[in-house]
Amino acid sequence: MLYKVVEVSNVNDEAIEEVLNDWTARGWRFDGLHFAMRESSKRPSMAFVIFTREGEE
């Protein structure tokens, strides 16, 4: 199993959608989405999109 983690620093719907469409088109399967939050804001400052696929490095 291979893993791919993509950092999204501009966290909005268009940026996340672009990452999802780009990496799934390359054969990666979406596995999860994690947000990094700031204490002073309710909006995430960064997101990490995780993908997986079968294979070897």
Residue 41 lies in domain: 2-53
* Structure confidence at residue 57 (pLDDT): 66
Sequence-distant (≥ 6) Cβ neighbours of residue 45 within 8 angstroms? 11, 36, 37, 38
What total of structural domains would you count in the chain?
Answer: 1
pLDDT in tens, 10-29: 999 999 999 999 999 999 99
Residue 43 has pLDDT above 90, yes or no: no
pLDDT in tens, 29-42: 999 999 999 888 88
Residue closest to 31 by CA, chosen among 56, 14, 6 = 6
Residue 50 has pLDDT above 80, yes or no: yes
